[in-house]
Chains A and B, each alone.
Chain A
Amino acid sequence: MKYVDEFRDRELGRVLAAQIVATVEPGRHYKVMEVCGGHTHTIYKYGIDDLLPENVELVHGPGCPVCVIPMGRVDDAIAIAKRPDVVFTCFGDMLRVPGGDETLLDAKAQGADVRMVYSPLDALRIARENPEREVVFLAIGFETTAPSTALTLVRAKRERLANFSVMCNHVLILPPLRALPESPDLRLDGFIGPGHVCTVIGARPFEFVPADYGKPVVISGFEPLDVLQSVHMVLRQVADGRAEVENQYTRVVPYDGNIAALRVMSEVFELRPHFEWRGLGFISQSGLRLSGAYADFDAELRYAVPGVRVADPKACQCGEVLKGVIKPWECKVFGTACTPERPIGTCMVSSEGACAAYYNYGRFARERVVV
């Protein structure tokens, strides 16, 4: 397949791995954070970390929107889903995310009309076809997904679809990223930037990382060679004593992003004063809600939701995993009490969660090493 096969070429991968070895100083330890869960998935799936020298460590970042949803928000979603008049629609992964007591899948098993969709447009279609029912879409995701929700709401408003609403959980990638370079637990040498978020916001907003913290950022694609090349570009900057924003993913990412997407987002959404991130706490101006012009479609205004904060389970260390402070396998419940089939923490739910990615691709290799 064009744009895919050529970025999975084995020989080119070996060449890049050799270039990385030639770039690093022996004896120096390098820590590079991949911000986005999509990269975490690629790294484990293709064994990228096995191709890197031992002194190059990849640290997983907070870029998985399922993983950062706090349990209280899941409970709010379940409260809406259980209303008899509601058809509750969401992406597949959200069905299995644990709330305080149960998941959306549990609510479905008890009779709630919860349906999995692949796009908010599917939810809109359900609303058109079921005018007697209230259709709610659980919107979640970073700047990559927010335009899709925004375009759907523009269509709903144009059609005056009164039985459609959105529970908005969209979050922004830059606010948590601002906290990371200052973390005393992490001494990062550079960042792999989230390629698809950047198709929307562009590479330019990441310029504060080299400007304020002196760390390189390379915006990366998601095929294995993309990630390898981006690691090399970060290490090359470190070796040269440079810190700048570079764009490895030029086949998709314009430096200034997608202006039409940013325009529709600014029309449909506004910043929340603060939003709670699982494991990271409240981060100001890090989440989106519907703007005044779209308030009629806001499920949180349409329905009473509990809005209760629920503390994370004590055994769960998703917060430390999300901040890159510990590796998935260092969590006390990893692979025992917490598995993808029965997750305790959100990082074990999504395929882009570091724990699930590691559980599915990495644990056997590690067991071999340990034994």
Chain B
Amino acid sequence: MTDARDTVSQASGVNAPICDPAGEHCITCSDEGVPMRVVAVHDDGTAICEGGIEVMVDLVAPVDRGDEVLVHAGTAIARVA
């Protein structure tokens, strides 16, 4: 399965990762957050968001398919409403 992150990683290589200064916010930095839509919910506290990205949803539980969440470093930290 190819997800959005693989594409970014392949395109940029390790010297210019996703947090390339010319790109979007860096994931290392505290305040990068991306709104994502949940497409599948697992029973272990994780969900799959658009782009095939696995996200921990413990902090915004319960979530359903179609919910919009704000994702930071692989964790949904808030619902977007």
A residues in contact (CB < 8 Å) with B: 1-4, 36-39, 41, 63-66, 91-95, 105, 108, 116, 118-122, 140-145, 147-148, 151-152, 173, 194-197, 199-200, 222, 251-254, 258, 260-261, 264, 340, 350-353, 356-357, 359-360
B21 to A: closest C-beta gap in Å: 4
Closest B residue to A194 by beta carbon equals B31
B68 to A: closest C-beta gap in Å: 7
B59 touches A352 (CB 8 A): no
B29 touches A64 (CB 8 A): yes
Selected contact of B26 from candidates A1, A92, A197, A258, CB within 8 Å: A92
B56 touches A148 (CB 8 A): yes
A residues near B33, Cβ cutoff 8 Å: 144, 195-196, 199, 222, 252
A142 touches B75 (CB 8 A): no
B residues near A251, Cβ cutoff 8 Å: 80-81
B5 to A: closest C-beta gap in Å: 5
B residues near A143, Cβ cutoff 8 Å: 30
B29 touches A37 (CB 8 A): yes
A70 to B: closest C-beta gap in Å: 16
B26 touches A66 (CB 8 A): yes
A3 touches B68 (CB 8 A): yes
A122 to B: closest C-beta gap in Å: 7
Can you give 22 contacting A-B residue pairs, CB < 8 Å?
A4-B35, A91-B27, A92-B27, A116-B14, A119-B74, A122-B74, A141-B30, A144-B73, A145-B30, A145-B73, A151-B59, A194-B30, A196-B31, A196-B33, A199-B70, A252-B80, A258-B59, A260-B61, A264-B58, A351-B21, A351-B29, A359-B21
Distance of A144 Cα from B79 Cα, bound (Å): 14
A148 to B: closest C-beta gap in Å: 4
Q: Within B52-79, which residues are at the interface with A (CB < 8 Å)?
A: 54, 56, 58-61, 68, 70, 72-75, 77-79
Extra contacts besides A1-B35, A152-B56 (17): CB < 8 Å? A2-B35, A38-B32, A63-B30, A64-B30, A91-B19, A105-B14, A116-B14, A118-B73, A120-B73, A194-B30, A196-B31, A199-B78, A252-B78, A252-B79, A254-B78, A351-B22, A352-B26
Closest B residue to A146 by beta carbon equals B30
B residues near A141, Cβ cutoff 8 Å: 28-30, 73
B residues near A120, Cβ cutoff 8 Å: 73-74
A351 touches B75 (CB 8 A): no
Which has the most chain B C-beta neighbours within 10 Å: A38, A108, A253? A38
Distance of A260 Cα from B60 Cα, bound (Å): 8
B40 to A: closest C-beta gap in Å: 16
B residues near A116, Cβ cutoff 8 Å: 9, 14, 17
B residues near A356, Cβ cutoff 8 Å: 21
A residues near B46, Cβ cutoff 8 Å: 121
Query: Given known contacts A66-B26, A199-B70, is B31 in contact with A147 (CB within 8 Å)?
Result: no
B residues near A65, Cβ cutoff 8 Å: 28-30
Q: Within B22-46, which residues are at the interface with A (CB < 8 Å)?
A: 22-33, 35, 45-46
B14 to A: closest C-beta gap in Å: 6
Distance of A251 Cα from B31 Cα, bound (Å): 16
Distance of A118 Cα from B68 Cα, bound (Å): 20
Closest A residue to B24 by beta carbon equals A351
A93 touches B29 (CB 8 A): yes
Chain A to chain B: the 10 pairs with minimum beta-carbon distance, closest first: A119-B74, A92-B17, A142-B30, A38-B31, A91-B28, A148-B75, A93-B28, A199-B78, A352-B29, A351-B21
